[in-house]
A and B are shown apart, each in its own frame.
Chain A
């Protein structure tokens, strides 16, 4: 037996060290791999909860209607029925939770409406659009049109 291993001593030693290192690697891995990694797929399942835990910034139309049902009803009869409240009024989830915590800013109709309604060839032909300076000169849109019931 000794004859076969004669001269191999240093390599056998090295091999033992290598095996030990591999075992250490697996031990470290056991510690460092996040809990339940691989439960749903090759990822950390806790991240699903972390991502879902973010607080929404926009409240959503239903939240607005729960207090402002009069406006919601009136708007619901006109062409802006499907335009969300926050599409014009901006994100208001804090206001929806506690209306004293955030005061909504009334948008300026001189600037707001043209974003959608300025005539552009790329917009669908059936979409109501005007060349604003021909249509109304310098007058703000809100002077003639009620944003919640814009049809005159």
Chain B
């Protein structure tokens, strides 16, 4: 096969030369990771009562929702027969890691995220339903789900139930994204994926990416609203970002050190792949620019007293680099896992299409879409008292 297709090096099983999973499958764990991370940030406020983080509680929830709504789309675009995707709900194969995910997703969307948002916003929705006119009145009336009761007792009930939902939401968020990690980690045929660390690494990198995206979104939205940045909030969020990043980095290094030390059969081929075809995305983008630089920047802020403007700039840079780094990590797992042959004797290349169904263009569109949805959500359910988004 390698004589016909020049970008194969060494030997690949003939069916392995073309990759089965494309950039869309890279997008999917990236997006669900943002969801899980943003939600954990919200739970820091609601469950762990970290007061400094309170100002971004609602923003985090809406961010999580915007990304969660887009999460199934890359999958639908990838499926050979998306019109049959309901089969995963009709006849889920209980031995398949992927089958159960449909239910985990639904659970998280309906019982955790939507319920929590509804409970938290219910008073504002009812007030808007009363005060608005025209189409917006209809929309808000529909959102009340038939109940206009916002007396003190019902609001108290909302608060208690909402707290419980957030509490359940934390393991649910872990399940949501840890599950994606398990989908890869349970594939014994692929030594790049098959490790019990995979769900844990995915989860912590998800939290890192989610916190980073909320950091960026908060700064952007506050800038657009021409309001002062809540530095206590930003500093606290950045601190948590650093801590969780350190855990994430340690886990990834543990995986690397373990592989290098044991040097089992697949190691040689994986090591070579990382140093050649994955060099840019793994060493440069994921590790150096995407992890070491942001961690250094965030640590710097903890150690040296810096002015507000400088801190904000550092947070923006660190968050942006983090997102690039976590995307690169997903890329390295999904694409990297398909670049080497299961015979351990060769490598292929990923030819990413551009304007095709599984190409770069839809991928970019799917990254922009949640931002647009979030913009709509911020208008519909403003997180802050005086609405001016």
Contact = CB atoms under 8 A, between A and B. Distances in A.
Interface stretch (B143-151, B174-182, B361-369): B143-151
Interface string B80-122: 0000001001110111000000000000000000010000001
A6 B90 contact: no
B161 interface: yes
B160 to A, nearest CB: 10
Interface residues of A, number: 16
Contacts of B94: 42
A33 B91 contact: yes
Nearest to A30: B90
B379 interface: no
Interface in B50-95: 86, 89-91, 93-95
Given A7-B151, A8-B157, A9-B154, A42 B145 contact: no
B332 to A, nearest CB: 33
A7 B90 contact: no
Contacts of A9: 147, 149, 154
A99 interface: no
B156 A7 contact: yes
B351 interface: no
Contact of B146 (A8, A13, A29): A13
A13 to B, nearest CB: 6
Contact of A11 (B90, B91, B156, B157): B157
B91 A14 contact: no
B153 A7 contact: yes
Contacts of A7: 149, 151, 153-157
Contacts of B154: 7-10
Contact of B86 (A13, A14, A17, A32): A32
Interface residues of B, number: 20
Contact of B153 (A6, A14, A32): A6
Nearest to A37: B91
A106 to B, nearest CB: 30
A126 B59 CA distance: 76
Interface string B151-167: 10111110001000000
Interface in A7-41: 7-11, 13-14, 17, 25, 29, 32-34, 37
A66 to B, nearest CB: 37
A29 B157 contact: no
Interface in B189-206: none
Interface in A65-108: none
Nearest to B126: A10
Contact of B161 (A11, A13, A29, A37): A11
Contacts of A25: 89
B145 A13 contact: yes
B90 A10 contact: no
Contacts of A34: 91
A42 B115 CA distance: 34
A10 B122 contact: yes
Nearest to A14: B145
Contact of A32 (B90, B93, B95, B146): B90
Contacts of B161: 11
Nearest to B106: A25
Contacts of B93: 42
A33 B93 CA distance: 13
B90 A33 contact: yes
Given A32-B86, A32-B90, A13 B157 contact: no
A34 B86 CA distance: 13
Contacts of B145: 10, 13-14, 17
Nearest to A32: B90
Contacts of B86: 32
Nearest to B95: A42
Interface string B288-315: 0000000000000000000000000000
Contacts of A32: 86, 90
Given A8-B157, A9-B147, A9-B154, 7 more contacts: A8-B154, A10-B146, A10-B147, A10-B149, A11-B161, A13-B145, A13-B146
Q: What 5 A-B pairs come out closest when comparing CB atoms?
A: A7-B153, A10-B147, A7-B154, A7-B157, A32-B90
